[in-house]
Amino acid sequence: AQSVAQPEDQVNVAEGNPLTVKCTYSVSGNPYLFWYVQYPNRGLQFLLKYITGDNLVKGSYGFEAEFNKSQTSFHLKKPSALVSDSALYFCAVRDINSGNTPLVFGKGTRLSVIA
């Protein structure tokens, strides 16, 4: 079975500081990994994904994430946080052996960037 853990319900960071939102995963095979952001009263917006290749992937709005197979992690990062980054962030996984299946989501981490 696939699963995702986001150990932090809430992350607070000052504007201009680097931010990290943590994610670990569990799959039987190799993973496809995704990050989404949800602003208030909106649907989910795709930020970035890891499929294969370079462990550091870059996505929308200056976000990046690093795939670490030994630690089964896929933490989301940004060098300098903006107040407008405040939102709910979801990590998701799909096992590459599972075909066209839905994503399994973590519980979400609420990011608050303080001016």
Contacting positions for another protein (CB under 8 A): 32, 34, 36, 41-46, 49, 51, 90, 94, 96, 98-108
* Smaller CB separation from another protein, 49 or 77: 49
* Smaller CB separation from another protein, 69 or 107: 107
Q: Are 89 and 21 in contact (CB under 8 A)?
A: yes
Quote the least distance from Cβ 25 to another protein, whole Å. Answer: 14
* Smaller CB separation from another protein, 13 or 104: 104
d(CA 105, CA 36): 10
Q: Which two tokens stand for residue 74?
A: 């896929």
Question: Considering only CA atoms, which of 16, 27, 19 is closest in space to residue 75?
Answer: 19
Quote the least distance from Cβ 17 to another protein, whole Å. Answer: 26
Residues 6+ apart with CB under 8 A from 79: 18, 62
* Smaller CB separation from another protein, 26 or 98: 98
d(CA 11, CA 43): 21
Quote the least distance from Cβ 51 to another protein, whole Å. Answer: 5
Quote the least distance from Cβ 98 to another protein, whole Å. Answer: 8
